[in-house]
Amino acid sequence: MDAGLISAIGSPRRREILRLLWDQELTAGAIHQAMPDVTFGAVSLQLKVLAEAGLVESRTDAQFRVYRVRRETLGPVAAMLEAMWTDALWHLKLKAELKESRRGPQPRRRRRSPTKGQKR
């Protein structure tokens, strides 16, 4: 039982990512698209933290990077997380937590997905 594990799931943003990855593999880009309120860079950094805690792993597939959850690391935490987001109110609560705990600068302008056509 590593303390880094608890710190890792202590962040609502990282729990959001874990939830997305829970029952499917996703590319970094797909994860970002599901989280419209942060930049791709921010997602990538959180994925790095999760990977360092052993909670996710990735493989390279062509120019994509595919992430998946490493449930074996989670152990007793897995049941707790599942219980949490089986809760009907989970998504609502998470949003509240995210809003409350937001750090870093607010984006100056609406950011765009790097996958879509962007002039300039």
| Binding-site ranges for DNA (CB under 7 A) | 11, 13-14, 27-30, 32, 37-49, 58, 60, 62-66, 98, 100-109, 111, 114-115
Among 7, 24, 113, 115, binds a second copy (CB under 8 A): 7
In 1-120, DSSP assigns E strands to: 26-27, 56-61, 64-69
Asked if residue 107 binds a second copy (CB under 8 A), the reply is no
- Please measure the distance between the N-terminal and C-terminal CA atoms of the chain and give it in whole angstroms: 49
Closest to DNA by CB, 88 vs 113, is 113
Strands (E) across 48-106 are located at: 56-61, 64-69
| DSSP SS3 for 114 | coil
Smallest gap from Cβ 76 to DNA, in A, equals 22
Q: Which does 44 bind (CB under 5 to 8 A by kind): DNA, a second copy, none?
A: DNA
Q: Is 79 in the site for a second copy (CB under 8 A)?
A: yes
Alpha-carbon distance of 80 to 78, in angstroms, equals 5
